């Protein structure tokens, strides 16, 4: 039996012993006596009697083992034109003192800390300091605007907010302090304090309850790790669902640590002392898992990059960093590679860089298109490994396990289910489909360690959103198929979640902004294919009668509102005024059929369509053969 087949079947047949064995990679204050607790099914807990500290596993133990001089984190800022290196001993010192600073401001076990920072080492330091205290962090991506930040503050109810004075985007400085203050004008909840890392590109004048990062850290004593239960939350990460309210994905401490340690060696083939670079913002799942926690738990070196794949200053930024830090594994989104390919199709910026340290390019976050797959493979001369996961799964559900047993790669497929993930394809009535047939991708419960345990303060929404559709299964929201060799193909979302440049967004949130415009009677937003970003949002509005607004003016106003309400990350640019929206006789807008046309799929219109002529008139816009910008 192959190593993969053996591991996979053991994880299915006897998850208790499989995961207890994996748990040996973690240092526990109290070793778990059992792996899976299914006493509250369909809610599952991992290592229920285990006691640990995630920060201890990420930092202290490596220093205690004599590896304090090993590089833990390197920071490359193309925006600030700076680079910094932190050994494990450096990071431990900073993290334990920042944990002291948080404790001085009243943060203790179970309290929440909201982190709103750009890609600076202090973001990782703040996350690890929370873990050290047993506090729960919630990192919010810097590209979200004040109202999105406000809804996360009200849901997480943080004791402290940790922020930077600004982020650096090409051509502009994003001032964070005014965004935080604007968010706090809107919230019910008020944190006790805000800590601000002053960056020289734009310093903030501090007001009441606002403290300077350097001042609080120099006044603090280092603190030791707080032992927590395996099942205690490590963090909440908000992600887009189908409604306007973001979902607070809760990750535990123990299952997360075990899953990450297992994946570093078995999926990524990264060993202690080697360098892994997950080029993702810390505000997203990949940034949490493989920019911060995964490599550190394993004793490897991680890279944090503040910049873009292109334009900061050129399309060679990735290759330069790989060469400089001898990166073994690069993990990024296909959109980043498409951006490089577009600017430098012949790889001129790659020439002259020694990237021989690179063993594998891993891609995730959105569909990997065949052109990007083959271009990256030809240019870099290394395997390009697609793998599939979600904020909810927390780590890859399907992958080619390069450390366990590299398998043949099939373009278009993220390969096979990772041990622990029992992936099934179900038809809409909940029956298994035949091999090779498309259906809904589901994970048969129990889910493996590291996957979300619930939604923050909303067990019912967790059940409703993920577990209620098919009894005994977690619904991923993706459609796909499994072929005769057991390879999974992910074909796209079945709901209203879209993926713009690897950033997950809800069309419902965008529709709410369009609908709030006084001239708009009704609207729909769908994701349409885009050559660079994978998908972009396209909006359709029907005006109120007598609205009397020029289409261009309306477009500009709505684009500005989306930027102010949701954030620049929505990258919303496309808006069309139309005579009507296609609907069923019961008044439901046919977004799914609109999406099918936009994606060039042949899909029969529902028999219940009320106004087929409207649908026909919209087709050229949906197909992109009509532009307004
Ligand atoms: N803070 C503030 N604004 C931000 C931001 C942040 N952290 N991140 C992005 N933005 C802004 C951008 O400046 C841009 O603003 P603009 O409209 O004024 O130009 C807007 O949000 C849209 O950003 P984006 O869609 O990222 O476009 P881009 O042109 O800046 O970059 C890519 C395009 C493809 C290079 C970039 O999106 C990328 O590298 N994506 C990879 C994503 C990724 O790693 N995802 C994680 C999964 S692995
Ligand atoms: P996020 O929660 O932001 O990680 O987004 C998760 C979604 O991104 C998934 O539900 C998929 O729709 C999509 N996705 C992630 N990885 C892949 C992949 N390798 N192939 C296709 N889609 C992917």
Whole-number Å distance, alpha carbon 311 to ligand 2 midpoint, is 26
Determine the Cα–Cα distance for residues 340 and 343; give it in Å rounded to an integer. 5
Q: Ligand 1: which residue has its CA nearest to atom 2? A: 143
With a cut of 80, say whether residue 228 has pLDDT above it: yes
Atom number of ligand 2 nearest to Cα 502: 3
List, for residues 354-394, the tens digit of each pLDDT value.
999 999 999 999 999 999 999 999 999 999 999 999 999 99
Cα–Cα distance between 34 and 448 in angstroms, integer?
14
Mean pLDDT of the chain: 96
Q: Which of 336, 412, 478 to mutate to test the pocket of ligand 2 (most atoms within 8 A of CB)?
A: 478
Note whether 314 and 349 are within 8 A (CB): yes
Spatial separation of the C-alpha atoms in residues 570 and 554, rounded to whole Å:
18
**Ligand 2 close to Cβ of residue 285 (< 6 A):** yes
The Cβ of residue 162 has, within 10 Å, a number of other Cβ atoms equal to: 33
Q: Which two tokens stand for residue 307?
A: 């910049």
| Nearest residue (CA) to ligand 1, atom 38 | 336
Average pLDDT over residues 129-134: 98
Q: Which atom of ligand 1 is nearest to the CA of 366?
A: 47
- 285-294, 319-328, 593-602: least confident range: 593-602
Percent of the chain with pLDDT over 70: 99
Ligand with smallest separation from the Cα of 388: 2
- CA pair distance 342, 596, nearest whole angstrom: 27
pLDDT confidence tier of residue 629, bands split at 50, 70 and 90: very low
Q: What separation in Å is there between the alpha carbon of 569 and the centre of ligand 1?
A: 6
If you average pLDDT over residues 22-32, what whole number do you get? 98
Ligand with the closest atom to the CA of 279: 1
Mean pLDDT of 1-17: 96
Ligand 2 close to Cβ of residue 446 (< 6 A): no
The DSSP secondary structure of 393-446, one letter per residue, reads T-S-SEE--TTT------TT---EEPTT--EEEE-TTSPBPPTT--EEEEEESS
Q: Does ligand 1 have an atom closer than 6 angstroms to the CB of 307? A: no
Question: Can you give the three-state secondary structure of 363-404, one letter per residue?
Answer: ECCCCCCHHHHHHHHHHHCCCEEECECCCCCCCCCEECCCCC
pLDDT tens-digit readout, 479-520: 999 999 999 999 999 988 999 999 999 999 999 999 999 999
Of all protein residues, whose CA lies closest to atom 7 belonging to ligand 2? 390
Instruction: Report whether residue 174 contacts ligand 1, using a CB cutoff of 6 Å.
Output: yes
- Which atom, in ligand 2's list, is nearest to the CA of 239? 2
Q: What is the pLDDT of residue 202?
A: 97
Ligand 1 centroid to 206 CA: how many Å? 28
Nearest C-alpha neighbor of 156 from the set 253, 55, 243, 235: 235
- The helix-helix angle for 176-186 and 146-156 (nearest 10°) equals 60
Q: Are 477 and 495 in contact (CB under 8 A)?
A: yes
Confidence check: pLDDT of 56 > 50:
yes
Paired sense of beta strands 112-116 and 160-164, if any: parallel
Q: How far is the CA of 366 from the centre of ligand 2 (A)?
A: 5
Q: Which of 279, 258, 420 is nearest to 337 (CA)?
A: 279
- Euclidean distance between CA atoms 155 and 238, whole angstroms: 10
pLDDT tens digits for 418-476? 999 999 999 999 999 999 999 999 999 999 999 999 999 999 999 999 999 999 999 99
- pLDDT at site 626: 55
Query: Which atom of ligand 1 approaches the CA of 503 most closely?
Result: 45
Pocket test for ligand 2, best of 389, 398, 527 (most atoms within 8 A of CB): 389
- Residue to mutate (ligand 1; options 78, 143, 367; most atoms within 8 A of CB): 143
Question: What percentage of the chain carries pLDDT values higher than 90?
Answer: 91
**Closest Cα to atom 33 of ligand 1:** 501
Position with higher pLDDT, 210 vs 603: 210
Which ligand has an atom closest to residue 397 CA? 2
Domains and CATH numbers, the chain: 3-307+387-480 (3.40.50.12780), 501-622 (3.30.300.30)
Closest CA to 222 of 43, 21, 393, 59: 59
Residue 417 preceded by cis peptide, ω within 30:
no
Q: Is 474 exposed, middle or buried (0-12, 13-18, 19+ CB in 10 A)?
A: buried
- Relative to the alpha carbon of 391, which ligand is closest? 2
- Bridge partners (DSSP) of residue 166 are 175
Show contacts of 346-353: CB within 8 Å, 24+ apart. 347/379, 349/314, 349/315, 349/316, 349/319, 350/316, 350/319, 350/379, 350/380, 353/316, 353/319, 353/320, 353/322, 353/323
Q: How confident is the model at residue 608 (pLDDT cuts 50, 70, 90)?
A: confident
> For residue 485, how far is its CA from the centre of ligand 1 (angstroms)?
37
The pLDDT confidence band at residue 602, using thresholds 50, 70 and 90, is confident
Ligand 1, closest atom to CA 331? 48
Ligand 2 site, residue 388, Cβ cutoff 6 A: yes
Is residue 606 over pLDDT 90? no
């Amino acid at each position: 039996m192959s190593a993969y087949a053996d591991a996979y079947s053991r994880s299915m047949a006897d998850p208790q012993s499989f995961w207890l064995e994996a748990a040996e990679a973690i240092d526990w204050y109290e070793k778990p006596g059992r792996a899976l607790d299914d006493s509250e099914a369909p809610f599952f807990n991992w290592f229920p009697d285990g006691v640990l500290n995630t920060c201890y596993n990420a930092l202290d133990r490596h220093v205690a083992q004599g590896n304090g001089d090993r590089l833990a984190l390197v920071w490359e800022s193309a925006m600030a034109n700076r680079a910094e290196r932190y050994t494990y001993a450096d990071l431990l010192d900073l993290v334990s003192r920042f944990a002291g600073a948080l404790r001085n401001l009243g943060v203790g076990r179970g309290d929440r800390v909201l982190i709103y920072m750009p890609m600076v080492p202090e973001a990782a330091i703040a996350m690890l300091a929370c873990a050290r205290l047993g506090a729960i962090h919630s990192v919010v991506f810097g590209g979200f605007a004040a109202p999105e930040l406000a809804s996360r503050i009200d849901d997480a109810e943080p004791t402290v907010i940790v922020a930077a004075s600004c982020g650096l985007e090409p051509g502009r400085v994003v001032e964070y302090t005014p965004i935080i203050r604007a968010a706090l004008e809107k919230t019910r909840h008020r944190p006790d304090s805000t800590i601000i890392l002053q960056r020289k590109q734009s310093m903030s004048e501090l007001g009441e309850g606002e403290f300077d990062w350097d001042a609080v850290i120099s006044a603090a004593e280092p603190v030791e790790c707080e032992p927590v239960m395996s099942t205690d939350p490590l963090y909440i990460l908000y992600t887009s669902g189908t409604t306007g309210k973001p979902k607070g994905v809760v990750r535990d401490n123990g299952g997360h640590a075990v899953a990450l340690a297992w994946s570093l060696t078995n999926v990524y083939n990264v060993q202690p002392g080697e360098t892994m670079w997950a080029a993702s913002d810390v505000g997203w799942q990949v940034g949490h898992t493989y920019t911060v926690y995964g490599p550190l738990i394993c004793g490897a070196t991680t890279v944090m990059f503040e910049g873009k794949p292109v334009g900061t200053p050129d399309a060679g930024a990735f290759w330069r960093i790989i060469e400089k830090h001898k990166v073994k594994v690069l993990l990024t989104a296909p959109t980043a590679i498409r951006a490089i390919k577009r600017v430098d199709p012949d790889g001129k910026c790659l020439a002259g860089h020694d990237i021989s340290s690179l063993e594998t390019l891993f891609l995730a976050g959105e569909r990997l298109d065949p052109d990007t797959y083959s271009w990256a493979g030809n240019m870099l001369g290394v395997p390009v490994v697609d793998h599939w996961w979600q904020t909810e799964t927390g780590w890859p559900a399907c992958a080619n396990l390069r450390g366990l047993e590299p398998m043949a790669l099939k373009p278009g497929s993220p390969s096979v289910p990772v041990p622990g993930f029992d992936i099934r394809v179900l038809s809409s009535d909940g029956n298994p489909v035949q091999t090779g047939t498309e259906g809904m991708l589901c994970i048969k419960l129990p889910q493996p360690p590291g996957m979300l345990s619930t939604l923050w303060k909303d067990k019912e929404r967790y059940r409703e959103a993920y577990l209620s559709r098919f009894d005994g299964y977690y619904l991923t929201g993706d459609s796909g198929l499994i072929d005769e060799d057991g390879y999974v193909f992910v074909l796209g979302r079945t709901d209203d979640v879209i993926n713009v440049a690897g950033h997950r967004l809800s069309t419902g949130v965008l529709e709410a902004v369009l609908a709030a415009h006084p001239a708009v009677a009704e609207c729909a937003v769908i994701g349409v294919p885009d050559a660079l970003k994978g998908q972009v949002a396209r909006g359709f509005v029907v005006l109120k009668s007598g609205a009397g607004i020029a289409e261009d003016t309306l477009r500009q106003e709505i684009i500005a509102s989306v930027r102010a309400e949701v954030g620049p990350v929505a990258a919303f640019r496309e808006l069309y005024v139309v005579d009507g929206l296609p609907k069923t006789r019961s008044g439901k807008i046919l977004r799914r059929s609109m999406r099918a046309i936009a994606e060039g799929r042949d899909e029969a219109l529902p028999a219940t369509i009320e106004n087929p002529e409207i649908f026909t008139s919209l087709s050229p816009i949906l197909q992109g053969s009509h532009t307004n910008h």
